[in-house]
Amino acid sequence: MRLLKLVPDNTNLDFMRWRNVALVLSIIVTVASLALVAVRGLNLGVDFVGGQMITVKFDQTAPLEEVRGTVSSLNVGDASITEFGNPQTLSIRMGLPDEGGEGAATRVATQVRTAIAAKHPDAKFTVDSVSGKVSNELYKWGAISVALAMLGIAIYIWLRFEWQFGVGALVTLFHDVCMTIGFFSLTQLEFNLNVVAAILTIVGYSLNDTVVIYDRIRENLRKYRKMEIVPLLNLSLNETLSRTMVTSLSIMFALLALLLIGPQVIFGLTIAILLGIFVGTYSSIYISSPILVWLGVSGDSFLPKHTTGSAAKGGERVATPNEGY
Amino acid sequence: MLDFPRWKVWGISLICLIGVLFAVPSLVPAREVAKWPAWLPSAQINLGLDLAGGSHLLLEADTSDLAKTRLEQMEERVRVGLRRESPPIEIGEISTAGGRLSFMVRNPAQVDAAVDFARRQTQPAGLGPRDWNVDVLDQNRIVMTPTQAGLDQGLKAAMDSAREVVYNRVDPSGTKEVTVIRQGEQRILVQVPGLQDPEGLKKLIGKTARLEFKLVDLTANPEQVAQGRAPVGSQVLPMQGGGAMAVKRRAIVTGEQLIDAKQSYDQNNQPVVSITFDSSGAKAFGRVTRENVGKPFAIILDNVVLSAPNINEPILGGQAQIAGSYTVQTANELAVQLASGSLPIELRTIEERSIGPELGRDSIYWGSIAAMAATAAVILFMLITYGRFGVYATIGLVLNALMILAIMSIIGASLTLPGIAGFVLTIGAAVDANVLINERIREELRAGRRVMDALEAGYREASTAIFDANITNVIAAVLMYVLGTGPIKGFAVVLMIGIVTSVFTAVNVTRMLVALWARRTRPRELHI
């Protein structure tokens, strides 16, 4: 049986030739993402702004107008009632009550739910009711944990590799996170705690990609100490290209399956991760690698730790006909 | 590559077997598992509330109230205690302004005795400081200031007992799988799986349920009572259904002296709550009712007078009925509240999430279908890309998924939706580890190595990248676990477990399979 080869053997693509174009592109998209978030904002879920969100699932098509009437007759303040995912499901979003203290959010949610249940005994509810205090904390600690996780990773990579690699990884992660948040601002998909989990998944994947390529760069830096940095990066990227493609594609297939038949609730989550795989694959080639050039990584950056073994191996490799450099 | 010692083969196989055994209960319906012999593992994976459906409440204590209560209690102790000293110490100008208790000792000669008494009321709070500072101002004014350490200690004690009370109220029979845990300094997290409407739950928890029986002060002037003023030693309390009433400050008996409370019916077949006092309560109640036949006493719940029946005859058995306009349900609620004791501190709901069980079931159903489809897609892809090595990778992947399930059911971690995201990430990492190894083997073959050397080098060279990539993820996961809240924690748990199992299955298990195959067949060329 002939096995599938996504990438022909011994590719010799000049990735780094486009690094300045990619840099400009990335900067534009990153700035655009940040600007988008600043101007248009995120559709923050109740996790982060407080208030209540009630989703009601009916057995038949949801009586949107009737529910609007019911809710407005309760006099509980402005409510935004929309279809949610499919015609049977409604989402009722309400802000935090102005008065009544911390417990008020949950009280209003109860009122709405009781009123709808009285008319539609078959309705199934999901209630998220978060007071302002809790949502502030969720926001704060969500941000802190993402930021510290990124920093911790950068420090580890700095210790395992060199400081340039640590900086490279950090910038890459920043790029990926900006891009994802920009996507959520653009689509106005709800940004909630589950999305934070998605961002963390993207960070994890992108990092995995970056580390694999860095690992190969380190190996080649030790092996070919005379080689210029740009061809060395190209060599490393080409050597790992097959792996990059196979891994990315197989995960994308998995995500497509989740996206197409997975439950409604994780749609936002899955689409974010899918996007993140694209971005993560791109950034590990075009962000994390060129940064090493700009930060002045060279053949001297790694003094071999096991002089004899490494030299012997290097000698052997240079002698093989495939290495055309 | 070939020298794969026998003990290693056995060790790896054993771990895999255990993993599979412990994963199986989670894959079949619970009623099937119940039929199995007892020696088989039966722990099923815990589903988070977002998947299983249920209610989640985060309660926060009102601490301002706690300081006030402590101050009032100290005031009461000082008032009563000093009068009982021999000789009695007379005090005046008692004030609780500014969160401090201050009073003047009328006889300057008794200041030392009063200070001594006040000191005896304090307790050590942790190492060093006591819970109250006692100072003397202007020769005869004693000031008692609560210390921070004392307040902290008081809060901790109150929260511990509040947790207990909440637990007893949520699950009086102790049969439901409820979670009631303290979170941070002043919060309690309540999770009840399967419960769709948390309204009843909130009603149960929302009340302090402090029950007191007090004598009605018949000397009070009704006009003054209406203005909220009561004679010395009495207080004005609102009545259920309107109006107010003056009652003695001293309680005859309180809810703390209850041993039982249950819903029953009175002679008119109206739902009431029957309560039984313990022996000290029964004795006190008996004595007071004997001395006050013909006079009314007030039944007070959370500082509201429910009713003020007349004492027709001494009540000696320590039993009483609380009548009000109850339905069977509200009487039941009150009975549970009284039986579980009063909350030492007021709790408010600051976060509420409830997911209908049907919706949760939907998520699980479609989630599992999708997860299977996702896994199938990956497996297919591995097979057409790597052939035989794809089969090994597949075995590794499936084992990985099973072992994550197994470990999560053993340690009782909950699987949530974000957890599924973490699951996808670790499956991705496991695939990647296999891809790294196989691509490396391809590379080494292309570089002209012989089969065995290529296999050996493939595993060796790929392992540093796998190691680094996974360690970075572990760092991220640990930080997220420590710092993150709810969903992020759920994600981090799966990630931590998954990283360990994916490295084990993708590196050790496939390596063993490859080694056994290579030893048996001694391949001269590889299709990879």
- B455-494 per-position pLDDT tens digit: 999 999 898 889 888 888 888 888 888 887 777 788 888 8
Q: Do B202 and A110 touch (CB under 8 A)?
A: yes
Q: Which of B371, B387, B465 lies at the smallest CB-CB distance from A215?
A: B465
Lowest mean pLDDT among A10-19, A106-115, A279-288, B231-240: A106-115
Percent of chain B with pLDDT over 90: 13
Return the residue in B431, B471, B473, B489 with the most chain A beta carbons within 10 A, the one to mutate for interface testing: B473
Report ipTM (2 d.p.): 0.79
With a cut of 60, say whether residue A313 has pLDDT above it.
no
Q: Mean of the pLDDT values across residues B40-45?
A: 83
Q: Which of B365, B384, B427 lies at the smallest CB-CB distance from A4?
A: B384
Residues 6 or more apart whose CB falls under 8 angstroms from that of B1 comprise B452, B455, B456, B459, B514, B515, B518
For chain A, the structural domain boundaries read 15-41+135-313, 51-130
pLDDT by residue (tens digit) across A3-52?
777 778 778 888 888 899 999 999 999 999 999 999 999 988 888 888 88
What's the CATH architecture for A15-41+135-313? Up-down Bundle (1.20)
Residue pair A157/A291 in contact by the 8 Å Cβ criterion: no
Return the residue in A193, A302, A310 with the most chain B beta carbons within 10 A, the one to mutate for interface testing: A193
| Residue B169, pLDDT score | 84
With a cut of 90, say whether residue A165 has pLDDT above it.
yes
With a cut of 80, say whether residue B186 has pLDDT above it.
yes
Q: Do A249 and B381 touch (CB under 8 A)?
A: yes
Q: Do B348 and A157 touch (CB under 8 A)?
A: no
Banded model confidence at residue A315, pLDDT cuts 50, 70, 90: very low
Domains parsed from chain B with CATH numbers: 6-48+357-521 (1.20.1640.10), 54-197 (no CATH), 209-342 (3.30.1360.200)
Q: What is the rounded CA–CA span in Å between residue A47 and residue A137?
A: 10
Q: Do B439 and A215 touch (CB under 8 A)?
A: no
With a cut of 60, say whether residue B417 has pLDDT above it.
yes
Q: What are B67's strand-pairing partners?
A: none
Q: Do B425 and A204 touch (CB under 8 A)?
A: yes
| Residue A2, pLDDT score | 67
Greatest mean pLDDT range, A150-164, A248-262, B200-214, B310-324: A150-164
A150: which chain B residues are within 8 Å (Cβ-Cβ)? Answer: 476
Distance of CA B270 to the CA centre of its chain: 37
Residue pair A57/A89 in contact by the 8 Å Cβ criterion: yes
A145: which chain B residues are within 8 Å (Cβ-Cβ)? Answer: 479-480, 483-484, 488
Residue with the bigger pLDDT between A3 and B396: it is B396
Q: What is the rounded CA–CA span in Å between residue A278 and residue B38?
A: 49
Longest dimension (CA), chain A: 83
Q: Mean of the pLDDT values across residues B111-117?
A: 87
Q: Which of B377, B439, B486 lies at the smallest CB-CB distance from A243?
A: B439
User: Could you give the dihedral angle defined by the CA atoms of residues A66, A68, A73 and A78, in that order, rounded to the nearest 10 degrees?
Assistant: 180
With a cut of 70, say whether residue A1 has pLDDT above it.
no
Q: What are B179's strand-pairing partners?
A: B191
| Residue A185, pLDDT score | 93
Q: What is the rounded CA–CA span in Å between residue A71 and residue A66?
A: 9
Q: Do A247 and B431 touch (CB under 8 A)?
A: yes
With a cut of 80, say whether residue A102 has pLDDT above it.
no
Q: Do B439 and A242 touch (CB under 8 A)?
A: yes
| Residue B2, pLDDT score | 63
The tokens for B469 are 């990539």
The correct answer on CATH 3.30.70.3400 for the domain covering A51-130 is yes
With a cut of 80, say whether residue B93 has pLDDT above it.
yes
In the block, tokens 């005090």 appear at B91
pTM: 0.75
CA atoms within 13 A on the CB side of B349: 30
Q: What is the CA radius of gyration of chain A?
A: 25
Q: What is the chain B residue with the closest CA to A211?
A: B469
Residue with the bigger pLDDT between A24 and A94: it is A24
Measured between CA atoms, how close is A172 to chain B, in angstroms?
14
pLDDT by residue (tens digit) across B331-364?
888 888 888 878 888 888 888 888 877 777 777 7
Q: Which of B202, B351, B367 lies at the smallest CB-CB distance from A134?
A: B351
